[in-house]
Chain A
Amino acid sequence: MSGRGLDNGFRLLGLLMIGVIVCFLLTPIAVTVTMAFDARAYLGPLPPPALSFRWFEQFFSDDYFLRGLSTSIQLAVASVSVSLCVGVATAFALDRASFLGKEALISLFLSPLIVPPVVTGFALLLFLSHMGLVYGFARLFCGHIIITVPYTIRATLASVAGIDRSLTEAALILGATDRRAFWDVTFPLARTGIVSGAIFAFAVSMDDVAVSIMLTDAKTYTLPIALISSMRANFDLSIAAASVMLMLVTLALILILDKFVGLNRVIGQGVFR
Chain B
Amino acid sequence: MKRGRDSLPLLLPAVAVFLGFFFLPLGGLFVESFRLYLPGRIGSAAEAPLTLANYAELLTPAFAQFFFETMRISLLASLAGLVFAFPLAYWITRSLSARWRAIAVGFFVTLMFLSVLVRTYALELTFGAAGPLRPILLSLGISPNGRGYIEILVGAGLLHYIVPMATLTLLGTIQNVDPRLVDAAQALGAPGWKAHLTITLPLCMRGLLAAFLFAFTFSISAFVIPMILGKGRVLFISNLIYNRFSEIADYPSGAAISIVLFVVALAIVYVMSRQVNKRWNS
Contact = CB atoms under 8 A, between A and B. Distances in A.
Q: Do chains A and B touch in the complex (CB under 8 A)?
A: yes
A46 B131 contact: yes
Given A117-B223, A161-B207, A264 B125 contact: no
A35 B18 contact: no
Contacts of A150: 217
B101 A264 contact: yes
B174 A96 contact: no
B139 interface: no
B109 A250 contact: yes
B102 A264 contact: yes
A242 interface: yes
Interface string A199-222: 110010011011000000000000
Given A28-B118, A158-B206, A273-B94, 9 more contacts: A45-B125, A89-B10, A114-B220, A142-B21, A146-B22, A199-B168, A209-B117, A268-B172, A270-B174
A243 interface: yes
A263 interface: yes
Nearest to B159: A24
B13 A107 contact: no
Interface stretch (B34-42, B53-61, B143-151, B191-199): B191-199
Given A86-B14, A116-B242, A264-B98, A93 B8 contact: yes
A29 B114 contact: yes
A249 B128 CA distance: 29
A28 B114 contact: yes
A114 B7 contact: no
Contacts of B238: 116, 118
Interface in B1-21: 1, 3-5, 7-11, 13-14, 17-18, 20-21
A108 B29 CA distance: 17
Interface of B: 1, 3-5, 7-11, 13-14, 17-18, 20-22, 24-26, 28-29, 32, 83-84, 87-88, 90-91, 93-94, 98, 101-102, 105-106, 109-119, 121-123, 125-126, 130-132, 156, 159-160, 163-165, 168-169, 171-180, 190-194, 203-204, 206-207, 210-211, 213-214, 217-218, 220-221, 223-224, 237-238, 241-242, 245, 251, 254-255, 258, 261-262, 265-266, 269-270, 273-274, 277
A115 B262 contact: yes
Nearest to A172: B3
Contacts of A255: 106
Contact of A24 (B1, B160, B168): B160
Contacts of B203: 162
Nearest to B168: A196
B150 to A, nearest CB: 18
Contact of B24 (A4, A127, A153, A264): A127
Contacts of A234: none
